[in-house]
């Protein structure tokens, strides 16, 4: 089922629902790691499960002769296979992240064909982050520099337009395409208005839903939705939430994801004695955020689990 259908069903049934995002396990672990994370969450009947994609990183290996060899390593492989396993095991829609980095257009098309064969109906299209050795994002040769370019290729496949324009009687795909939205703007955008115009371009190209970056102040989300609607973005906008669970996240999350913590939350967190107390504060804050969003008519909330389900389970018990 498509994400848009899940949202419409929740609205019609007047029963809010949720989705979660997980990370592929690091290389060397098996699929049971994923199932152990998801088993407690699936009991609450998620609408869908997102699986992130992690591009390769470059590492340098020193040889006995003193020379350095650069080697590409993907620490979290398996996104496509994990999505297939989730759908087979749980009968829940799985959504792979599709990114620009690490793929050229041919690679992308082949991956999309495989996803289509697997019966995966939904995608979340992202540019992706630069590798650690890059100061800015670098596209692959004959790849995509922007998420909008990647989205356009997928939209073309939905029209039956492949890279080889000599194909005859080519089949159309039917992907429901999602994109990311940033209530506090993407950190590379000059300002929020320019970021919103770029988001509208992606919707105009065929994006059917938006999932936001994590935020901790619901007013930021409501203001973001209002601004989107004023410039003609009418697709569903799904709020993304992440409970803060450790003292290190108090500074790491704002630094990594370029988000602000409200004064009330920050004041409580910095006074916390240990991680246990931080987790309690963060969990309760996310529960209250979720309740307010639902009271204001939001039909679906997306939770970033970081592949740890215990806190999100507590949130769901307090909300759903």
Of the chain, the percentage scoring pLDDT greater than 90 comes to 77
**pLDDT for the residue numbered 129:** 76
Q: What angle do CA 178, 54, 133 make, to 5 degrees?
A: 120
User: DSSP letter string over the chain?
Assistant: --HHHHHHHHHHHT--EEEEEEPPPPBTB-HHHHHHHHHHHHTT--SEEEE-----EEEEEE-TTS-EEEEEE-SS--HHHHHHHHHHHH--EEEEEEESTT-BHHHHHHHHHHHHHTT--EEEEE--PPPTT-SS--PPTTB-SSHHHHHHHHHHHHTT--SSTT-SSPPPP-PEEEEEE-TT--TTSSSHHHHHHHHHHHHHHT--EEEEEE-S-HHHHHHHHHHHHHTT--S-EEEEE----STTHHHHHHHHH--PPPHHHHHHHHH-SSHHHHHHHHHHHHHHHHHHHHHTT--EEEEE-TT--HHHHHHHHHH-
> pLDDT tens, 286-295?
999 999 999 9
> pLDDT tens, 127-159?
887 776 677 777 788 889 999 999 999 999 999
**pLDDT for the residue numbered 60:** 54
**pLDDT for the residue numbered 105:** 94
CA distance 308 to 49: 14
> pLDDT tens, 22-43?
999 888 888 999 999 999 999 9
**Closest alpha carbon to 178 in 98, 85, 285:** 98
CA distance 255 to 243: 16
Q: Which range, 71-75, 102-106, 294-298, is most confident?
A: 294-298
**pLDDT for the residue numbered 56:** 62
- The answer to whether 18 and 46 have CB atoms below 8 angstroms apart is yes
The least confident of 99-103, 161-165, 181-185 is: 99-103
The 8 Å CB, 24+ separation contacts for 9-16 are 10/47, 10/299, 10/300, 11/299, 16/294, 16/298, 16/299, 16/300, 16/301, 16/319, 16/320
> pLDDT tens, 41-52?
999 999 999 999
Band (68; pLDDT cuts 50, 70, 90): low
In this structure, the chain runs to a length of 320
CA distance 18 to 122: 16
Mean pLDDT of the chain: 91
* Residue 211: exposure state from Cβ atoms within 10 A (0-12, 13-18, ≥19): buried
Q: Rounded to an integer, what is the distance from CA 83 to the centroid of its chain?
A: 14
Q: Which CATH class is domain 3-319?
A: alpha beta
> pLDDT tens, 91-121?
999 999 999 988 899 999 999 999 999 999 9
Band (65; pLDDT cuts 50, 70, 90): low
φ, ψ of residue 105 to 5 degrees: the values are -65, -35
CA distance 97 to 215: 20
**pLDDT for the residue numbered 111:** 93
């Amino acid at each position: 089922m498509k994400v848009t259908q899940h949202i419409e069903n929740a609205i019609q049934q007047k029963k809010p629902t949720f989705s979660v995002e997980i990370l592929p396990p690091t290389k060397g672990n098996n699929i049971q790691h994923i199932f152990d994370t998801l088993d407690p969450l699936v009991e609450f009947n998620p609408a869908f499960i997102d699986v992130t994609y992690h591009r390769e990183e470059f590492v340098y290996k020193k040889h006995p002769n003193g020379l350095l060899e650069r080697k590409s390593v993907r620490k979290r492989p398996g996104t496509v296979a994990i999505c297939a396993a989730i759908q087979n095991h749980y009968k829940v829609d799985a959504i792979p992240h599709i990114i620009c980095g690490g793929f050229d257009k041919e690679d992308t098309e082949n991956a999309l064909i495989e996803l289509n064969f697997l019966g995966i109906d939904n995608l979340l299209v992202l540019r992706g982050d630069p590798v650690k050795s890059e100061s800015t994002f670098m596209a692959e040769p004959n790849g995509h520099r922007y998420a909008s370019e990647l989205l356009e290729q997928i939209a073309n496949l939905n029209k039956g337009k492949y890279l080889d324009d000599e194909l005859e009687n080519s089949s159309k795909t039917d992907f429901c395409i999602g994109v990311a939205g940033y209530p506090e703007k993407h950190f590379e955008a000059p300002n929020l208005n320019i970021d919103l115009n770029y988001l509208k371009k992606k919707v105009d190209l065929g994006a059917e839903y938006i999932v936001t970056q994590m935020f901790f102040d619901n007013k930021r989300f409501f203001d973001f939705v209002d601004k989107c609607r004023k410039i003609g973005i009418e697709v569903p906008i799904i709020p993304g939430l992440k409970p803060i669970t450790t003292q290190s996240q108090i500074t790491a999350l704002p630094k990594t994801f370029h988000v602000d913590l409200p004064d009330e939350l920050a004041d409580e967190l910095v006074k916390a004695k240990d991680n246990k107390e931080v987790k309690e504060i963060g969990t309760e804050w996310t529960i209250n955020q979720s309740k307010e969003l639902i009271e204001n008519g939001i039909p679906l909330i997306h939770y970033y689990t970081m592949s740890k389900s215990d806190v999100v389970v507590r949130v769901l018990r307090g909300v759903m």
